[in-house]
Chains A and B, each alone.
Chain A
Amino acid sequence: MDVKLINPFVDAFLNIMPQLGFQEIKKQNISLKGKNLKSNGVMLNIGIVGDIKGNVVYCLDIEGAKKIASTMMMGFPVTELDDMAQSAISELSNMLTANASTNFSESGVNINISTPTLIFGNDFEAKMNTDKVICIRILVDDIPIEINTAFEKL
């Protein structure tokens, strides 16, 4: 597993989340998954092309997504994942991945990112473009978030 492909995403969380009012960002563990990812309720997909090609999919559950949206909106109560909350977490995935792309460029890897697509529901899964997916688990104020990266061979 190439740390060079993981750290830019972890650093993005460390850079961005505190700016949005989150206190504690903890890296949990890193694991290798197959191409099928089971959803916990919410997935955000962003396409990547450049020196690396593939997708990053952020996964979390609906409760976690609502809590994050609420913190992003200065503590405004979020009782359901409505348009406003969807927009907030979509924008978050965009900010995180844009920051990761800046971090990549600092180590000489140039990438560009697509707009995020948010998928949510009670029962679905994702099939990624690669057979192996690197999963990084992060706790943001005790809300678990997975960063799943599916990059094609360089």
Chain B
Amino acid sequence: MRKIKIAIVDDSPFSISIIKDILLEKGYDVVGEAGSLEETIKVVIDTKPDMVTMDMTIPGTDGLECTRAIHSIDPNIKVLVISSMMDEEIVKKAKENKVSGYIQKPVDPEELNTVIERIIAGEELFNELKEIYFNVFREAFLDNMNRLTKTVPKCLEEKDTKENHHSRGVSIVVGIIGKFSGSMILDASYETVENIAKHVLKRDIKGREEALAVMGEFSNIVSGNACSILNRKNKVFGFRVAPPSIFHGNSLNISRTIVESKEVVSETIFGQVYLNVGFKRGEGEWM
């Protein structure tokens, strides 16, 4: 495995040398040191670390401001606070600033190593999920369309969701809960939803309510199947789905600002169906 690159931010050369010795002994690659906000920014840009250890008290700035600066350069860099101060208030603030871990000085080498390993493991697990999840959901969608309607929809190109989605009329939202949280959205026009319902029920539908209920159940099955497959691939995911909520009308938009999500449009014989699935990167479980 590749060596984890770590930069150390601390205003005390004594602390830096202690932390550095521990990190080197545990096999990490110490790529830089900084003692101010300016140095922190420079070190992060120059050395592109995977992780930064962060002191809280730094002259002219503080650990939280430096953390925000690091994340504005690259939000994926993990920040681990190593500070002599540790109380509820400051830990809460650290968490709000997306810090991944918090340990108190004097540093215990084993504790430091454990916290780093835990942060990296969570990160790798998320990357593993990111690699596979969308394909699994798309296959679950295609598979269930095929089972229920004996047709094979054609999927257009999958892409990362960048902007709000304007609904075709019916948007079904399924919350996903497990090691990471997320959600799945299926979106289609009323006409498509009614066509699918008629086909599945093999009769005329009694009304829009019934068609929406069928589509809700279909979404539940797709998301449930996809989560089972993901859980079989890695049981640590432990995904479960919440019951579907159905949003529908003449004018609605779906916003996905705080999750990284992917989407694909599929052409079915009933009309287009849009699938969007996203998960949120964990912020660590250190509290």
A-to-B contact residues, CB < 8 Å: 39, 43, 45-50, 53-55, 57, 83, 86-87, 90-91, 94, 112-130, 150, 152
Contacts and interface: CB of A to CB of B under 8 A. Distances in A.
Task: Point out which of A49, A91, A112, A115 has the most chain B C-beta atoms below 10 A from its C-beta.
Answer: A115
Given A124-B248, A127-B245, A115 B257 contact: no
10 contacts: A45-B175, A47-B173, A49-B175, A53-B243, A54-B243, A55-B175, A87-B257, A114-B181, A118-B256, A126-B248
A129 B250 CA distance: 21
Contact of A55 (B242, B259, B278): B242
B199 interface: no
Nearest to A126: B247
A121 B240 CA distance: 29
- Residue in B167, B171, B245, B280 whose Cβ sees the most chain A Cβ within 10 Å: B245
B251 A123 contact: yes
B66 to A, nearest CB: 21
A120 to B, nearest CB: 6
Interface of B: 164, 167, 171, 173-178, 181-183, 185, 209, 212, 216, 240-259, 278-280
B116 to A, nearest CB: 25
Nearest to B276: A117
B177 A49 contact: yes
Nearest to B169: A124
| Most A C-beta atoms less than 10 A away, residue of B177, B212, B244 | B177
B249 A124 contact: yes
Given A48-B175, A127-B248, A117 B241 contact: no
A123 B249 contact: yes
B171 A115 contact: no
Contacts of B245: 45, 47, 55, 57, 126-129, 150
B254 A119 contact: yes
Q: Which residue, of B183, B242, B252, B253, has the highest number of chain A Cβ atoms within 10 A?
A: B242
Given A112-B181, A125-B248, A129-B243, A47 B257 contact: no
